[in-house]
Every structure is written in structure tokens, then in C-alpha cells.
Amino acid sequence: MIKEKILVIGACGQIGVELTLELRKIYGGSNVVASDLRAENELLKGTGPYVSLDVMNKEMLHVQVIRQNITQIYLLAAILSATGEKNPNLAWHLNTQSLLNVLEIAKDENVRKVYWPSSIAVFGPTSPKINCPQKTVIEPTTVYGISKFAGEFWCNYFNHRYDIDVRSLRYPGLISYKSEPGGGTTDYAVEIFHDALEEDHFTCFLKEDTYLPMMYMPDAIRATIELMESPVEKISVRTSYNIHGMSFSPKEIAAEIKKHIPGFTVIYEPDYRQQIAESWPQSIDDSVARNNWGWKPKYDLATMTTDMIENLKSEMSARES
């Protein structure tokens, strides 16, 4: 049996912290090397090795892959949609060059598998709004979406040309309480919980009727690991799989939170992120992922909201005591 040694790049981000902790449960703490530009996240401390790494420095990355005998890489470093629009060149450069660095090193070394997430942001205004299919018109209008679309085809290329086992998911907006979101258009759906609990009030940067595809982090982590552990013959998509959790608008999530916090109020002050949100589908058809490797989400809006509020409340009381 091959002894897996995993490198997580971008391990201190919204997904990275939780994915690293879950991978460490499965493979053992010492077999999952966390890395990031930032200082080590508090939740990762003491759970396994941590290295400071800039994924844009290909030589440094190559040295780490050889030195640590890495067999799998999870590449999570990226600039997300909203931040990307403020610095398009940087977003394009980081999002595409980081992937090429990882794929080229995987080709030359003993790296058996690569995971790289794409996003619903690959879709644009000309894609179907409801139940957007796996294969459809893809004309993204954000630099983030363009970089993810290009990345998907680099993954496909390296799989077909060099037989690298690259796997990918098009995550919807992710909602979590352990680590903060990193500059996306869907971040409002995390911020709304913090403001509801801390101030009973939220100013939303999207209009109240803006529907977007979303997913609770435990489902996203499970989807990632289920995809990566599926037998190779079940993987038919080498660009990136559509996956869906739930779809709601700011008005609907606010109403759900109000069931737990009756005095909660929201005002709507849409900004530049409204245009980004309106360019994306409202819901996603993930039947290919369901049929290929058995994907099925567990959380809906009600169960996610209850879990978020319970966990954030216990974090707040732990901080106060």
C-alpha cells in the first residue's frame, strides 16, 4: 500500500483550515503538511506540520514536494471574486500560475493526485440561471471566473496529456463558522450570522431577492474527500464537477435567522458585488456528480442556520468566559 503524504497549499483559508483538520483525521496529523503565506491558523496549531510557502515560488514548492515525499497536493490558494475585481492582474496571475506550478511539479515528481477547486463563477450571464447543467454555455465576466475556467482546462489537459489524476469541484458559495471567508461575493451569507449575533442587525451588500447556489462547509469538505477517494473509473469529468447544496436569497436567509433571533433586522445596500452575483446561476444541476461518485448534500437552509447559530453562540460564550 502507498503511504500517502499530503501537501495542503492555502491551508489557513476558509476551506483550508477545515479540510486540513479532516485530512489529518483520516491520514494522521504528521502525514498532512499544511502550508500558507500567512502565519499558522490557531486551529491548526499542534495538529501536524506547518510550512510557510509561497506557491508562486516554484523552486521553493518543488523543494518541499521532494523533501516531504509528497504524494497528493490540495491547492487552495486563490484570489476570490470580489477581491479579484479590485486587482484583476494579480488574481489572474495567482489563480493560474499557482495551478501550473503544481501541475508541472506533479508531472515531474511522485505526486499521484492533485485537488484544485473551481467555482460556480465559471458560469456567466449567458449560462442557464436555474439548475445550470454540467455542460453548458460558459462565458464568465469576472477575472476570477475567467481564471477558474482556464484552470479547469489546464486540469483536463494535464490529465489527458500526462495522466495526472487531477480532480476538481465547482464549489458554490461556502458557509462556515471556523475560519473567515476570503473576499468572495457569497461572503454575505457568513457575515450575516456574525452581525445577527453580535449586533441584531446586518447591512447586506446584495439585493434581497438575489438567489445564489450555496453549501454548508461540512458538506463541502465531505464532497472534496469523497471525490478524492472515489475509484478512478468513477471519475468522468476532468475539468470540474458541478455540486449543489442549497439555493436562497438574502431575504430568505434573514427570515430563517429571525426564527432564532426575533429582533434581527436587515437593510440592503447593494454595491459592485451585485453585478457579480447577477452574472451567476441561481441553482446548479449536480446530477453528473451524483451519478458518477454518489454525491448528495446533507444540509438545507434550516439545518445549516441552526448549526451555524449554535456553533457561533458556543464560540462567543467560550470567548466571554
Active-site residue numbers?
Answer: 144
Report 93-122 residues binding ligand SER (CB under 6 A): 119-121
Q: How far is CA 98 from CA 32, 54, 119, 127, 143, in A?
A: 20, 9, 16, 27, 15
Q: In whole angstroms, how close is the CB of 302 to ligand SER at the nearest point?
A: 21
**Sites for ligand NAD among residues 60-89 (CB under 6 A):** 76-78, 80
Could you give phi then psi for residue 78, rounded to 5 degrees?
-170, 165
Q: Which of residues 147-206 bind ligand NAD (CB under 6 A)?
A: 171, 173-174, 181-182, 184, 186
List the Cα angle 195/200/206 in 5-degree steps. Answer: 55
**Cβ–Cβ under 8 Å, residues 319 and 273:** no
User: Which residue number places its CB atom closest to ligand NAD?
Assistant: 13
14 binds, among ligand SER, ligand NAD, none (CB under 5 to 8 A by kind): ligand NAD
Q: Which residue minimizes CB distance to ligand SER?
A: 184
- Residue 115 Cβ, how far from ligand NAD at the closest point, in Å? 10
**Among positions 10, 151, 184, 297, the unique one binding ligand SER when judged by CB under 6 A:** 184
Binding of ligand SER at residue 127 (CB under 6 A)? no
Count of residues that bind ligand NAD according to CB under 6 A: 28
Task: Choose which of 64, 168, 176, 186 interacts with ligand SER (CB under 6 A).
Answer: 186
7 neighbors 35 (Cβ within 8 angstroms): yes
Distance, CA of 309 to CA of 254 (rounded, Å): 13
Helix, strand or coil, per DSSP, at residue 200: coil
Residue 173 interacts with ligand SER (CB under 6 A): yes or no: yes
Nearer to ligand SER, 31 or 176 (CB): 176
The whole-angstrom separation of Cα 80 and Cα 174 is: 12
Q: How far is the CB of 183 from ligand SER (least distance, A)?
A: 7
Using only C-alpha atoms, what is the Rg of the chain?
A: 19
Could you tell me where the beta strands, DSSP code E, fall in the chain? 6-9, 32-36, 50-52, 72-75, 113-115, 118-119, 165-167, 169-171, 173-175, 201-204, 212-216, 241-242, 246-248, 265-268
Residues near ligand SER, by CB under 6 A: 80-81, 119-121, 144, 173, 184-186
Write out the residues near ligand NAD by the rule CB under 6 A.
Answer: 9-10, 12-16, 36-38, 53-56, 76-78, 80, 94, 117, 119, 171, 173-174, 181-182, 184, 186
